[in-house]
Amino acid sequence: MTMFADNPYQPPQAISAGMASSEKPAEVSWKQIARRWEILRLFYNLILGLAGLLTLDMMPNLMAASVIVGVVAYGFCANVMYLLGPVTEMYLNWIVDAWEGRLVPRWLAGFVRSIYLTGMLFVGGCLLSIGLTLAIGLM
């Protein structure tokens, strides 16, 4: 029993604030999500750059001008596609905020609001991008 539950005149907010099992996971703002993903963008570009260098090593007989234009265009497109990660996370957070308690269970809401979802989306996106980059080199 909490220290507030002994007082029947205590407002309900104080009673529920002491109960850990009924606490709602803290909401995550879009600014926090964007900040996390912009920090991860540096690692994404580094990882994809290394995969791109490996791909260029697989194709030694290309003209220099076409390679530079292709690398710049591919890097731009890869960074545009990178935006799918934070947009997906922001959308899932919006769904959780709108439907928690009705259609979204608390454990799922806790997962969506955690950094684990960010990591899962980041690793999945990196693996997909690396696979696509290496597949271009194998063609």
Q: Roughly how many angstroms between the first and final C-alpha of the chain, as a whole number?
A: 66
Domain range list for the chain:
35-138
Report pLDDT digits (tens) over 106-127. 888 889 888 999 999 999 999 9
Q: Which amino acid would we find at residue 67?
A: V
Please give the Cα distance from 93 to 114 (Å, whole number). Answer: 10
Confidence of residue 87 (pLDDT cuts 50, 70, 90): very high
Helices (H) and strands (E) in the chain, counts: 6, 0
- Asked if pLDDT for residue 65 goes beyond 60, the answer is yes
Task: State the Cα angle at 116 between 112 and 117, rounded to 5°.
Answer: 45
